[in-house]
Amino acid sequence: MPKKISDHDLLTRIDERQAGIIDKLREICGSLNKKVDKDDEYLELKKRVDNLWDSKNRMIGWMLGAGASGGLVAGILRALVSDVIAKIQ
């Protein structure tokens, strides 16, 4: 007949294992951070992606500006044409 383990002993063993897993995860994360920071290919790729995001945001700004100015010019022209037609009639 197997020996019965108390709840306290079971929780203690779970806590020890969890602490061990946390230590191993910290070690893995630390080694990954060191590897990525020293990788020139990764840094070059990160720089290119950042530049692409900057270009994308710049393009969105230009599109919004062009749309707003185009709408403003169209509104002004429509008002002028309406006034001219109203005065002619």
Domain count, the chain: 2
Please tell me whether residues 78 and 44 are part of one structural domain: yes
Kindly tell me if the per-residue pLDDT of 2 is higher than 70: no
Question: Quick one: pLDDT at residue 5?
Answer: 79
In angstroms, the Cα distances linking 30 to 22, 49, 76 are: 12, 24, 61
The SS3 assignment for 39 reads coil
Please tell me whether residues 18 and 53 are part of one structural domain: no
Please tell me whether residues 49 and 88 are part of one structural domain: yes
Structural domain boundaries, residue 88: 40-89
pLDDT, tens digit, 9 for 90 and up, residues 31-76: 776 666 667 887 888 888 888 999 999 999 999 999 999 999 999 9
Among candidate residues 17, 36, 16, the one with its CA nearest the CA of residue 28: 36
Q: Which residue has the higher pLDDT, 32 or 88?
A: 88
Q: Which sign does the torsion angle of CA 72, 78, 82, 83 carry?
A: positive
Please tell me whether residues 22 and 61 are part of one structural domain: no
Please tell me whether residues 65 and 30 are part of one structural domain: no
Query: Is the separation of the CB atoms in 36 and 42 below 8 Å?
Result: yes
The rounded distance, in Å, linking the Cα atoms of 30 and 24 is: 10
Please tell me whether residues 57 and 87 are part of one structural domain: yes
